[in-house]
């Protein structure tokens, strides 16, 4: 007879969850043992819970379905909260499994005992502690369903040890399986007509794109609408995933200063949150697609209503040439864009010259950008793990500064262990690192100590040589860029 852990794993597989990022302890040992008997479930071990939660975020951004985490008690959840916060802000699905002491043991308030539900409430849209092995599969299905629906979210399932080792449960299957993640609705006809009427007035209009409205197809549709109506496109400040390069338009991102929108009469939201404080402006705000609606199909309907035929032509850009001369931050950005391979995934937490990097990347081959969505540091390296596992045929590049790299440097160990195609560029700037003295740290040695080959560069020529190695590689590698 199957125990609870085996039932839970089979239910997850039945619902399409086949990847689990783990940092388990003794309370989760029955789940770990069950993983050995579940070859269809990919279990990825991490040294730190923040790496596991960030990896689940990155996986969901690229696979558009949830992965699971496996964390040890409330303290393990606490260690993973920062990247669960980022996942919540990214609006991605995560099945967050947290082990707990056996139910009968809770009365003793042991050393690691804590209120897991309260901790989870900061990042979760759904929380449940499974009360029995018999109810576990139903709880798991509900968690996956809530996490996967639009708008996606983190669902936390707390797994007491006795529920995990107990017998009597039966694996569940979604009925019907296709109902697990129904397609979100498009904007209604009245909304389409109202927004088309506003755009036809040729008023000063801005269109703010977020979520899946930042996919390549949606960006092309939005650009064709903007070109036909004179509207200006913006992107949300910290997109979970945004297509770029390869002829796509380079869209300005909204920053914390909403004065970027002060000149406009109308603001059209497409799967984006209104950045304006209510009552402080005179801008007419309309929503083409809410966070729980289908932005791509809504843009298609709006384009048809406006009589637009075909997408916008690709933006013509000259092939970037690698830089020459003395190495500085701007030349480092140019070198990365010039050497970037086709169809790369960029996990960016570099915090250096964002304007220059964005400009140069717009002229690079097609890529997907994964940004720091919740401003909780230490995201880029863990996110790259999940992205690489979800998209094994695409190269993943991490751009990160030395201070942010130290938050989750343990991710390099998992990258090496899983033999992932993750190429890491660490910017170690003497000027930017003065507050924390991270410029004195040797990231190449740290990387090699965790199993990822690494080198240091301090000139344009050595940077280009290092990037050329990264661009042509399939195994993980790291380049530490020493900047003034």
Q: What share of the chain is helix, strand, coil (3-state, %, to 5)?
A: 40, 20, 40
Return the higher-pLDDT residue of 95 and 320.
95
Position 105 pLDDT exceeds 90:
no
Exposure string for 330-360, b = 16+ CB within 10 A, e = fewer: bbbbbbbbbbbbeebbbbbbbbbbeebbbeb
d(CA 278, CA 421): 45
Q: Where in the chain is the domain with CATH 3.40.50.1220?
A: 189-305
- Given this model, what pLDDT does residue 109 score? 78
- Consecutive H or E run containing 385: helix 380-390
Q: Note whether 202 and 173 are within 8 A (CB).
A: no
Position 215 pLDDT exceeds 50:
yes
Position 179 pLDDT exceeds 50:
no
Q: pLDDT tier at 8 (50, 70, 90 boundaries)?
A: very high
For residue 293, how many C-alpha atoms fall within 13 Å in the half-sphere facing its CB? 19
Q: Where in the chain is the domain with CATH 3.40.50.970?
A: 4-180, 329-483
Position 181 pLDDT exceeds 80:
no
189-305 belongs to CATH 3.30.2320.50: no
Helices (H) and strands (E) in the chain, counts: 17, 18
> How many other C-beta atoms lie within 10 A of the C-beta of residue 150?
20
Give the residue among 109, 52, 112 at the shortest CA–CA distance from 81: 52
Position 313 pLDDT exceeds 90:
no
Residue with tokens 């020493």: 482
* Strand order from edge to edge, sheet including 232-235: 252-253, 232-235, 205-209, 266-270, 284-289
d(CA 192, CA 198): 10
Q: Given 3.90.660.10, 3.40.50.970, 3.40.50.720, 3.40.50.300, which CATH number is that of 4-180?
A: 3.40.50.970
Report the CATH superfamily, name and number, of domain 329-483: Thiamin diphosphate (ThDP)-binding fold, Pyr/PP domains (3.40.50.970)
Which segment of 78-82, 176-180, 396-400, 423-427 scores lowest on mean pLDDT?
Answer: 176-180
Q: Note whether 399 and 371 are within 8 A (CB).
A: no
- Given this model, what pLDDT does residue 45 score? 98
- Given this model, what pLDDT does residue 176 score? 64
Q: Note whether 190 and 288 are within 8 A (CB).
A: no
What percent of the chain lies above the pLDDT cut of 70?
93
For residue 187, the SS3 value is: coil
Position 437 pLDDT exceeds 90:
no
Let me know if 114 is exposed, middle or buried by CB neighbors in 10 A (0-12, 13-18, 19+).
Answer: middle
């Amino acid at each position: 007879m199957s125990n609870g852990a085996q039932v839970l794993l089979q239910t997850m597989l039945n619902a399409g969850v086949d990847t689990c990022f783990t940092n388990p302890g003794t309370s989760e040992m029955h789940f770990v043992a069950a993983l050995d008997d579940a070859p269809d479930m990919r279990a990825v071990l991490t040294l730190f819970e923040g790496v596991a939660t960030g990896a689940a975020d990155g996986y969901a951004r690229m696979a558009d379905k949830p992965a699971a985490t496996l964390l040890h008690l409330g303290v393990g959840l606490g260690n993973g909260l920062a990247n669960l916060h980022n996942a919540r802000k990214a609006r991605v699905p995560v099945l967050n499994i947290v082990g707990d002491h056996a139910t009968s043991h809770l009365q003793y308030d042991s050393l690691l005992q804590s209120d897991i539900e309260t901790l989870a409430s900061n990042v979760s849209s759904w929380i449940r502690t499974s009360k029995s092995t018999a109810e576990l599969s139903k709880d798991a299905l509900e968690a996956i369903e809530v996490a996967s629906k639009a708008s996606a979210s983190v669902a936390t399932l707390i797994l007491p040890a006795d529920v995990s080792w107990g017998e009597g449960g039966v694996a569940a299957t979604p009925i019907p399986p296709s109902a697990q993640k129904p397609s979100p609705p498009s904007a209604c006809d009245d909304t389409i007509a109202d927004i088309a009427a506003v755009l036809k007035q040729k008023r000063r209009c801005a269109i703010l794109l977020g979520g899946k409205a930042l996919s390549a197809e949606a960006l092309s549709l939005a650009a064709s609408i903007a070109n036909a109506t004179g509207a200006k496109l913006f992107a949300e400040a910290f997109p979970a995933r945004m297509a770029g390069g390869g002829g796509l338009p380079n869209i300005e991102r909204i920053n914390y200063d909403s004065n970027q929108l002060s000149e406009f009469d109308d603001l059209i939201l497409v799967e984006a949150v209104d950045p304006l404080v209510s009552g402080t402006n005179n801008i007419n705000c309309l929503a083409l697609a809410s966070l729980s609606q289908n932005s791509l199909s809504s843009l298609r309907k709006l384009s048809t209503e406006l009589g637009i035929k075909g997408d916008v032509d690709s933006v013509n850009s000259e092939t970037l040439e690698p830089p020459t001369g003395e190495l500085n931050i701007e030349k480092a950005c140019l070198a990365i864009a010039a050497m970037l391979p086709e169809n790369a995934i960029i996990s960016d937490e570099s915090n250096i010259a964002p304007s220059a990097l964005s400009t140069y990347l717009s002229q690079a081959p097609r890529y997907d950008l994964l940004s720091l969505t919740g401003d909780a540091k230490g995201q880029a390296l863990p996110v790259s793990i999940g992205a690489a596992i979800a998209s094994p045929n695409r190269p993943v590049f991490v751009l990160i500064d030395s201070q942010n790299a130290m938050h989750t440097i343990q991710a390099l160990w998992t990258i090496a262990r899983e033999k992932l195609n993750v190429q890491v560029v660490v910017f170690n700037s003497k000027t930017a690192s003065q507050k924390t003295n991270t410029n004195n740290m040797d990231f190449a040695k740290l990387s090699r100590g965790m199993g990822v080959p690494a080198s240091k560069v301090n000139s344009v020529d050595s940077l280009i040589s290092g990037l050329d190695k990264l661009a042509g590689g399939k195994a993980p590698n790291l380049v530490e860029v020493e900047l003034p």
